[in-house]
Amino acid sequence: MELYRATIPGEPVPKGRPRLGRNGRTYTPAKTIKWEKEASWALRENVPASGLDQPLELHVDVYCSRPKSHSRKRRAAREAKSTKPDGDNFLKAVCDALEKSGVVVNDSRIWSMSVRKWWCGEDDEPRVDVKLLVAD
Protein backbone atom coordinates (compact mmCIF):
# COMPACT_ATOMS: atom_id res chain seq x y z
CA MET A 1 0.00 0.00 0.00
CA GLU A 2 1.36 3.39 -1.00
CA LEU A 3 1.82 5.79 1.92
CA TYR A 4 3.62 8.73 0.38
CA ARG A 5 4.53 10.12 -3.03
CA ALA A 6 6.40 13.31 -3.92
CA THR A 7 8.49 14.94 -6.61
CA ILE A 8 11.67 16.91 -5.96
CA PRO A 9 12.05 19.36 -8.85
CA GLY A 10 15.42 20.39 -10.29
CA GLU A 11 18.65 18.68 -11.25
CA PRO A 12 19.32 15.68 -8.94
CA VAL A 13 22.48 15.80 -6.83
CA PRO A 14 24.01 12.61 -5.39
CA LYS A 15 25.35 12.49 -1.85
CA GLY A 16 28.89 13.83 -2.00
CA ARG A 17 31.73 12.11 -0.26
CA PRO A 18 32.87 13.65 3.01
CA ARG A 19 35.84 15.96 2.50
CA LEU A 20 38.69 16.66 4.87
CA GLY A 21 39.19 20.30 5.81
CA ARG A 22 42.43 22.05 6.72
CA ASN A 23 41.56 21.77 10.39
CA GLY A 24 41.40 17.96 10.10
CA ARG A 25 37.61 17.78 10.36
CA THR A 26 35.37 16.22 7.74
CA TYR A 27 32.53 18.10 6.09
CA THR A 28 29.83 17.45 3.50
CA PRO A 29 30.22 19.33 0.20
CA ALA A 30 28.11 22.52 -0.05
CA LYS A 31 26.34 21.35 -3.23
CA THR A 32 25.02 18.27 -1.38
CA ILE A 33 23.90 20.30 1.63
CA LYS A 34 22.07 22.78 -0.61
CA TRP A 35 20.25 20.05 -2.56
CA GLU A 36 19.22 18.16 0.59
CA LYS A 37 17.81 21.37 2.07
CA GLU A 38 15.82 22.18 -1.09
CA ALA A 39 14.65 18.56 -1.34
CA SER A 40 13.47 18.50 2.27
CA TRP A 41 11.35 21.61 1.58
CA ALA A 42 9.81 19.96 -1.49
CA LEU A 43 9.07 16.78 0.50
CA ARG A 44 7.37 18.74 3.30
CA GLU A 45 4.42 19.65 1.05
CA ASN A 46 2.81 16.21 1.45
CA VAL A 47 4.27 15.26 4.83
CA PRO A 48 2.12 12.93 6.96
CA ALA A 49 0.80 14.31 10.28
CA SER A 50 3.52 12.48 12.16
CA GLY A 51 6.59 10.98 10.54
CA LEU A 52 6.29 7.44 9.24
CA ASP A 53 7.70 5.03 11.82
CA GLN A 54 7.20 1.55 10.38
CA PRO A 55 9.06 -0.73 7.99
CA LEU A 56 9.00 0.96 4.57
CA GLU A 57 9.92 0.32 0.95
CA LEU A 58 11.48 3.23 -0.94
CA HIS A 59 11.32 3.56 -4.72
CA VAL A 60 13.22 6.42 -6.36
CA ASP A 61 13.30 7.49 -10.02
CA VAL A 62 16.04 9.98 -10.87
CA TYR A 63 15.68 12.03 -14.07
CA CYS A 64 18.93 13.76 -15.14
CA SER A 65 19.39 16.39 -17.86
CA ARG A 66 20.88 15.17 -21.08
CA PRO A 67 24.37 16.29 -22.07
CA LYS A 68 24.53 18.42 -25.21
CA SER A 69 26.74 15.75 -26.79
CA HIS A 70 23.71 13.45 -27.20
CA SER A 71 22.21 13.59 -30.69
CA ARG A 72 18.87 15.32 -31.25
CA LYS A 73 17.27 11.97 -32.10
CA ARG A 74 18.63 10.39 -28.94
CA ARG A 75 17.46 13.33 -26.79
CA ALA A 76 13.83 12.85 -27.89
CA ALA A 77 13.06 9.78 -25.76
CA ARG A 78 13.63 8.89 -22.13
CA GLU A 79 16.52 6.46 -21.78
CA ALA A 80 18.09 4.46 -18.96
CA LYS A 81 21.20 6.19 -17.57
CA SER A 82 24.03 3.76 -16.85
CA THR A 83 26.81 6.26 -16.20
CA LYS A 84 28.13 7.89 -13.06
CA PRO A 85 27.14 8.92 -10.44
CA ASP A 86 26.08 5.69 -8.77
CA GLY A 87 22.43 5.15 -7.89
CA ASP A 88 23.20 4.46 -4.23
CA ASN A 89 24.58 7.99 -3.84
CA PHE A 90 21.23 9.38 -5.02
CA LEU A 91 19.48 7.07 -2.54
CA LYS A 92 21.61 8.36 0.34
CA ALA A 93 20.73 11.97 -0.49
CA VAL A 94 16.99 11.16 -0.77
CA CYS A 95 17.00 9.22 2.52
CA ASP A 96 18.66 12.13 4.33
CA ALA A 97 16.12 14.57 2.83
CA LEU A 98 13.21 12.32 3.88
CA GLU A 99 14.48 12.30 7.45
CA LYS A 100 15.22 16.06 7.57
CA SER A 101 11.75 16.86 6.20
CA GLY A 102 10.03 14.75 8.85
CA VAL A 103 8.43 12.33 6.37
CA VAL A 104 10.18 9.39 8.06
CA VAL A 105 11.17 9.32 11.72
CA ASN A 106 14.46 7.61 10.93
CA ASP A 107 15.75 6.43 7.57
CA SER A 108 16.81 3.16 9.20
CA ARG A 109 13.08 2.22 9.00
CA ILE A 110 13.50 1.80 5.23
CA TRP A 111 14.28 -1.86 4.76
CA SER A 112 13.99 -2.10 0.97
CA MET A 113 15.21 0.47 -1.59
CA SER A 114 15.27 0.68 -5.35
CA VAL A 115 16.58 3.36 -7.64
CA ARG A 116 16.32 3.87 -11.37
CA LYS A 117 18.34 6.50 -13.22
CA TRP A 118 17.02 8.04 -16.43
CA TRP A 119 18.14 10.54 -19.02
CA CYS A 120 15.29 13.02 -19.48
CA GLY A 121 13.30 12.83 -22.69
CA GLU A 122 12.25 15.85 -24.72
CA ASP A 123 9.17 16.46 -22.57
CA ASP A 124 10.78 15.63 -19.20
CA GLU A 125 12.16 17.98 -16.60
CA PRO A 126 15.05 16.99 -14.30
CA ARG A 127 13.62 15.76 -11.01
CA VAL A 128 13.49 12.97 -8.45
CA ASP A 129 10.27 11.00 -7.93
CA VAL A 130 9.92 9.41 -4.48
CA LYS A 131 7.45 6.74 -3.43
CA LEU A 132 7.14 5.08 0.01
CA LEU A 133 5.17 1.87 0.49
CA VAL A 134 4.23 -0.21 3.52
CA ALA A 135 6.66 -3.10 3.73
CA ASP A 136 5.07 -6.49 3.07
Distance CA 83, CA 79 (A): 12
pTM of the model: 0.91
Q: What mean pLDDT comes out for the span 90-117?
A: 96
Give the three-state DSSP class for 40.
Answer: helix
Minimum mean pLDDT range among 67-76, 78-87, 89-98, 108-117 = 67-76
Beta strand 56-64 pairing with 110-119? parallel
Q: Indicate the residue type of 83.
A: T
pLDDT digits (tens, 9 = 90+) for 39-82: 999 999 878 778 899 999 999 999 999 988 887 777 788 999 99
| Residue of 6, 124, 123, 132 lying closest to 63 (CA atoms) | 124
Look over the chain and give the mean of its residue pLDDT values, rounded to a whole number. Answer: 93
